[in-house]
Each structure stands twice: as C-alpha cells, then as structure tokens.
C-alpha cells in the first residue's frame, strides 16, 4: 500500500510539473482522480501493457476526459509507453493535449473522451459485448460529479440496470466542484448515492483518496446480485497540495515554477 | 422497406455472429425472427437514443457489428454528438438505419419529418451515407456495408414502397445505378424519389425530352465518375430528393463541381427551408413542396425552354 501511495505522489508531482511546462489546465480535476486511477491501473485492472488489444482485458474509460493529463502519466508509469514520449506534450503535431485521443493513437486508451457524458454508454456497450462474445472482463468508467449533469449518464444507468450489467463499474470522482461552481449548487446532485441506487445499481461510498479503502470496495465485486456497481468516491479537488486543495481556481490556473517546487516539497517528491 | 431490413438483418445475423441489433423502442414484433436467431443479440435500448448510439460504439470497439434502428430524426439529429464522437471519431463500424425518412411520416408532423438527416450525416468525417431506392438496393447495401469497416447511415422509407429494380442490379457502394437511360437531361435521384422521378421522366418523354434517371443510392462518397461524364453528356443535371435543399444531396453535387473548379448546369429539387405546419400525407406533402412527378416535369421543361 505504501508503494501505491508513493506512486500516487510521484504521479501528482509529474502532473503538476507538466501543467507548468505545457500550460495544460484542469489540474484540480486531475489531482482529485489520481488515487482512483492508481488503485485501478496498479492493482485492480487485469491488463497487460504489451497487449493493449487483448480481447479479454479489463477496460477502463476516463469519462471525465479533462483528467487526461493524469491518465497520460498513469499509462506511462504502467508501461504503455515511455515517459519520454510526453516530452512534446502540448506541442503542435503531438498526441498529448488536454483530452484523451482515440485508442488508435495512444495505447492504453479505451475511448476518446472530452465531451462529457459519453464514457458510460461506450463502457456499457463494451460490457454487453463481453456477454455476446463470451469474454469475461470488467469495465470501469470514471465519471466526474459535474459530468453527472449529462442526461446520457442516466439513460445509460437505466439500461445498465435493465440489462443486469454486473461487469460494469462506475467510480464517481465526487470532488464537489464543477467548472464554475459547487456541483450541488449548479444542478442539485444530492443525494448522489441514493440516485444510483434508485436507478437500480449497487452504490457504495468511500474515501477516494484512501487507496486501501478504494481497493477494499473494488475487490468486493463483481456483485452476486446481477446489478452494476457505482462507487461514490469522496475526493478533494487539487488533493495533495495545500494551496490547491478545494480551490476551484485550479480548474484553469497554471502553476508557476515556484508553485511547482513547493508542491513537490509537500508531496515529498524530490525529482 | 422496414420489413426487408428486418428480414435481411436476420439473414446476416444467421451467418455472422458479430451482428447485433439495437432498437429505440420501436418495431414491435418486427424483429421477432431476428430474436429467434439469437435473443442475446437484440437490445431494446428504450427511448434513449444518445445512450443507444454510445452503446453501439462500445460494442463496435469490442469487435461486434451493431445496427442501430429507429425513426430517422431520432437516429440522427437527436443523438448527433454521439454519432460524431463515439462512432465517427473512433471509426467504429456502426450502421445507423433511419426509418420513415423524408416525408414518409408526413402526417405525424415535423417532429417526425426527416429533411435534415442527409445534410448532417454527410458532414461527419468517415461517415458513409446511403439512400436505397427500393428493398432490393437496401438488401444489397446491407450486405456491402458488412464488407466495409466504416460507420454508415442508411436512410429508408417505411413500408409499401414500389420496387424499382425488376432483378437485383450489380450494386457497388459509391457507384450510381442508371435505372432509365436518356440523352438530354439526367435526373440524379436519391431513395424514395427514384419512383417519382421515373414518372417525371415518362411525362418528359411524352413531350419529346429523353431523361436519364439515376439512383444515387450512395450520397457519400459521391459517384464522381458519373458526375464527371454527365457534365459532358447532358445539357442539364437535375437533383431530386425528399430532403431539404439546404445541405442535402443537391448541395453535395454542387459542392463537388465547385471543388473541381468547374460548374455543370444544375437544378435542384427538395423541400423548402421551413417546417410544414399543415397536416397531410406523403403525397400531399410532396405536391406542396413541388416534388410530385408532374411538378418536376413542368419545371424541368420550363428550365429547358420548352414550356
């Protein structure tokens, strides 16, 4: 567990440094989902970076596509491509920018996202295809809480329930913010756990920054009751850096050199 | 046409285990035979088209060949962004079938009219657009799209449309089919307007004008060879579609000539830039928009200076 916590701290430091270097925004959103992605990619997912197209692999879709700067670091660390591939991050003609490209353009990506509310329907299609193809795998979709504004999320939630897609998991990165305000204020989101239950899902709450707690919840499933599962992960936007935590300015702000250094010190990452 | 679609898809599903059908809560009993082939490959996705299109894309990205079926405007304009991002951006081989296209459901009112579908579908990178004129072309197109690996939109009518071809023609995607050879003027037509155009050609013949009638079953990519030769052979190229003149097949033809840097003498028939507020069946609506055979032939004669 200490190892995964260290990995998450290193990932945070890289994400912050890259935000400065490439002027890529959405730092707050990236830092809130790092522990979720770390738990998934370094413990839960049955994947082999050397065979990104293996039909039997677990699938993970970062539906909140603006968290791509976090996902790009995770995939590199997991071995899908060397870190050096990101040297031209944000430069013209490259592949790394603000949102995930299509799988054809970057190994490890399952679906190009960026426009919100698309990842869950695609993930449901993949989960149902597993049934048709008689392939046993799980599909994990990471949603933002702001993303739950999108009607397509709830269309998909209903169909997943009616189809008994028990191999489908949603993890809501519940950081309580969206671009311009508190997610509860913009479109009343509460009670989020009850909403998922009312749509026919298993729904559990956990601390989205406690990797051990996340793993405990993720390892309880697949469920035996035939329902899909939603994990409402309570998170903090900008988690890990004192001056970024729960400050929504970091949805768009780019850190200065000094801020990058201070963040690294706080994270205990020397590099 | 929808019965032929259901029947052909059942045949395809019997020989190819990748075929799945997603329906937007329509086609009650229409797909009973399909379900009897394999009930696990039929999905009633409910009245939730955005999700349905995303699910289809996810299935296609997992090796399946989904056909998505619902009423044309709900299969296209309702879920346009899902088609753009989930299907086309990912090059997912999803086949979208819009039924009741054009003015087939005229009496249901503008919510059910589909006079923009060709326009918006053809704007999407990698999307191929088909409008078969009869059940024979529809079946052949369905077999051909299974051989291709591209997103596709097939625009079909409802039921009871006349068969145009007496025997299955040689159909190649992107290659127009001449259904009546002619000399002076050519009617480039799509889908359910081929029958009306053939009637118009009869009227024209009675007045001494020999019109060619061509089924452009593939709206995208266009048959450039035919267009290029038609420019040399005919004094007038006429496009006929049960679709808005804004952005439709006629626009596609004009765009092609413009991009080529040369312009053929063109004339277009389609619906006007408006919603139809009065009630009426398909035949009434066609007359109202000047799309009935008589309207077509009169305007063409006038344009040719023969009136």
Whether B58 and chain A come into contact, CB under 8 Å, resolves to yes
CA-nearest of A102, A261, A94 to B60 is A102
A residues 138..157 contacting B (CB < 8 A): 151-152, 155-156
Tokens of B248: 């439709």
Chain A residues inside the 8 Å CB shell of B50: 117, 121, 151-152, 155
Domain ranges for chain A, please list them.
2-267
Q: H helices of B163-223, where?
A: 193-206
**Residue A166 contacts residue A137 (beta carbons within 8 Å):** no
Give the tens place of pLDDT for each residue, B240-273.
999 999 999 999 999 999 999 999 999 999 999 9
Report the distance separating Cα B117 and Cα B96, nearest Å: 11
Respond yes or no on whether the N-terminal peptide bond of residue B221 is cis (omega within 30° of 0): yes
Report the distance separating Cα A176 and Cα A246, nearest Å: 9
Tell me which of A106, A120, A125, A154 to substitute to probe the interface with B (most B C-beta atoms closer than 10 Å): A125
**Residue A167 contacts residue A89 (beta carbons within 8 Å):** no
Q: CATH code for A2-267?
A: 3.40.50.970
User: Is B168 domain-assigned?
Assistant: no
User: Is B297 domain-assigned?
Assistant: yes
Three-state secondary structure of chain A: CHHHHHHHHHHHHHHHHHHHHHCCCCHHHHHHHHHHHHHHHHHHCCCCCCCCCCCCCCEEEECCHHHHHHHHHHHHHHCCCCHHHHHHCCCCCCCCCCCCCCHHHCCCCCCCCCCCCCHHHHHHHHHHHHHHHCCCCCEEEEEECHHHHCHHHHHHHHHHHHCCCCCEEEEEEECCEECCEEHHHHCCCCCHHHHHHHCCCEEEEEECCCHHHHHHHHCCCCCCCCCCEEEEEECCCCCCCCCCCCCHHHHCCCCCHHHHHHHHHHHCCCC
Examine the fold and report which residue of B122, B155, B188 is the final residue of a domain before the chain moves on. Answer: B155
Tell me whether strands B211-215 and B236-244 are parallel, antiparallel or unpaired: unpaired
Report the distance separating Cα B101 and Cα A13, nearest Å: 54
pLDDT, position B21: 98
Q: What's the average pLDDT block by block, 10 residues per block, for chain A (271 residues)? A: 93 98 95 98 98 98 98 98 95 93 97 98 98 96 98 98 97 96 94 98 97 94 88 98 96 96 95 62
Examine the fold and report which residue of B155, B187, B203 is the final residue of a domain before the chain moves on. Answer: B155
Q: Are residues B6 and B151 in the same domain?
A: yes
pLDDT, position A224: 83
**Residue B81 contacts residue A115 (beta carbons within 8 Å):** yes
The SS3 of residue B188 is strand
| DSSP 8-state secondary structure symbol assigned to residue B212 | E
Tell me which of A111, A117, A122 to substitute to probe the interface with B (most B C-beta atoms closer than 10 Å): A122
Whether residue A111 and residue B48 make contact (CB cut-off 8 A), yes or no, is no
| pLDDT above 90 for B306 | no
In this structure, what CATH number is given to the domain that contains residue B119? 3.40.50.970
Range of the domain at B134: 2-155
User: Is B167 domain-assigned?
Assistant: no
Give the tens place of pLDDT for each residue, B140-193.
999 999 999 999 999 999 888 899 999 999 999 999 999 999 999 999 999 999
Report the distance separating Cα B92 and Cα B63, nearest Å: 9
Q: Are residues B134 and B252 in the same domain?
A: no
Interface pTM (ipTM) of the complex? 0.97
The SS3 of residue B95 is strand
Nearest CA distance, B274 vs chain A (angstrom): 29
Question: By mean pLDDT, which of A219-228, A235-244, B2-11, B100-109 is the weakest?
Answer: A219-228
Residue found by looking up tokens 């066609």 in the block: B286
Percent of chain B with pLDDT over 70: 100
- Number of domains present in the structure of chain B: 2
Tokens of B240: 């006929």
**Residue B162 contacts residue B196 (beta carbons within 8 Å):** no
User: Is B183 domain-assigned?
Assistant: yes
Percent of chain B with pLDDT over 90: 96
Give the tens place of pLDDT for each residue, B211-246.
999 999 999 999 999 999 999 999 999 999 999 999
User: Is B166 domain-assigned?
Assistant: no
Left, alpha or beta for B65 (phi > 0: left; psi -120 to 50: alpha)? beta
The SS3 of residue B236 is strand
Q: Are residues B125 and B30 in the same domain?
A: yes
- Residue B112 — pLDDT band, cuts 50, 70, 90? very high
End-to-end CA distance of chain A: 21
In this structure, what CATH number is given to the domain that contains residue B264? 3.40.50.920
CA-nearest of B221, B25, B48 to B121 is B221
CA-nearest of B84, B86, B88, B96 to B24 is B96
Q: Are residues B48 and B140 in the same domain?
A: yes
Report the distance separating Cα A213 and Cα A206, nearest Å: 7
Q: Are residues B144 and B81 in the same domain?
A: yes
User: Is B111 domain-assigned?
Assistant: yes
Whether residue A126 and residue B59 make contact (CB cut-off 8 A), yes or no, is yes
- Residue B307 — pLDDT band, cuts 50, 70, 90? low
Chain B residues inside the 8 Å CB shell of A132: 20, 40-41, 59, 64
Report the distance separating Cα B294 and Cα B281, nearest Å: 17
pLDDT, position A245: 97
User: Is B258 domain-assigned?
Assistant: yes
Tokens of B168: 């299955």
User: Is B160 domain-assigned?
Assistant: no
**Closest CA in chain B for residue A134:** B40
Tokens of A115: 């426009």
Chain B residues inside the 8 Å CB shell of A151: 50
């Amino acid at each position: 567990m200490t190892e995964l916590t260290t990995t998450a701290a290193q990932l945070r430091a890289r994400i912050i440094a890259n935000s400065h270097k490439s002027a890529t925004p959405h730092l707050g959103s990236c830092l809130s989902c790092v522990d979720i992605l770390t738990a998934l990619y370094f413990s839960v997912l049955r994947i082999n970076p050397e065979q990104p197209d293996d039909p039997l692999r677990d699938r993970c879709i970062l539906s909140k596509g603006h968290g791509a700067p976090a996902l790009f670091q995770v995939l590199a660390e997991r071995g899908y491509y060397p870190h050096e591939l990101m040297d031209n991050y944000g430069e013209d003609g490259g592949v790394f920018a603000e949102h995930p490209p299509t799988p054809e353009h970057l190994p490890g990506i399952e679906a190009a996202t960026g426009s919100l509310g698309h990842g869950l329907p695609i993930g449901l299609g993949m989960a149902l295809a597993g049934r048709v193809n008689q392939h046993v795998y799980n599909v994990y979709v990471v949603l933002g809480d702001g993303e739950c504004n999108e009607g397509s999320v709830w269309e998909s939630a209903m169909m997943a329930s009616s189809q008994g897609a028990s191999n489908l998991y949603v993890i809501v990165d519940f950081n309580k913010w969206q671009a311009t305000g508190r997610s509860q204020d913009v479109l009343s989101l509460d009670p989020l756990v009850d909403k998922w239950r009312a749509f026919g899902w298993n729904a559990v709450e956990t601390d989205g920054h406690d990797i051990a707690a996340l793993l405990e919840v993720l390892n309880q499933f697949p469920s035996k009751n035939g329902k899909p599962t939603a994990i409402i992960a309570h998170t903090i936007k900008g988690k890990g850096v004192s001056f970024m935590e729960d400050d929504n300015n970091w949805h768009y702000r780019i850190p200065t050199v000094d801020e990058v250094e201070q963040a690294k010190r706080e994270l205990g990452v020397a590099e | 046409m929808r019965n032929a679609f259901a029947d052909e898809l059942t045949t395809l599903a019997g020989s190819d285990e990748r075929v799945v059908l997603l329906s937007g809560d329509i086609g009650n009993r229409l797909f009973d035979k399909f379900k009897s082939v394999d009930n696990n490959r039929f999905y009633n996705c409910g009245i939730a088209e955005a999700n349905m299109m995303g699910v289809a894309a996810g299935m296609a990205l997992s090796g399946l060949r989904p056909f998505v079926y619902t009423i044309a405007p709900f299969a296209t304009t309702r879920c346009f962004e899902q088609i753009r991002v989930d299907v086309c951006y990912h090059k997912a081989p999803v086949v979208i079938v819009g039924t009741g296209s054009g003015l087939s459901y005229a009496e249901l009112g503008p919510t059910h009219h589909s006079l923009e579908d060709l326009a918006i579908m053809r704007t999407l990178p990698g999307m191929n657009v088909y409008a078969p004129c009869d059940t024979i072309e529809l079946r052949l197109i369905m077999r051909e799209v299974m051989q291709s690996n591209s997103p596709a939109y097939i625009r079909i009518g409802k039921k009871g449309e006349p068969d145009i071809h007496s025997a299955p023609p040689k159909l190649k995607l992107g290659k127009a089919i001449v259904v009546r050879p002619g000399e002076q003027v050519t009617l480039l037509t799509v889908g359910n307007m081929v029958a009306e155009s053939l009637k118009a050609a009869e009227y024209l013949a009675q007045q001494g004008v020999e019109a060619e009638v061509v089924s452009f079953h593939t709206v995208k990519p266009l048959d450039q060879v035919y267009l290029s030769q038609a420019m040399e052979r005919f004094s007038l190229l006429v496009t006929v579609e049960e679709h808005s003149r804004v952005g439709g097949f006629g626009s596609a033809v004009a765009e092609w000539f413009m991009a080529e840097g040369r312009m053929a003498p063109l004339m277009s028939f389609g619906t006007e830039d408006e919603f139809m507020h009065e009630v009426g069946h398909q035949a009434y609506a066609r007359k109202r928009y000047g799309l009935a055979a008589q309207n077509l032939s009169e305007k063409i004669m006038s344009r040719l200076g023969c009136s």
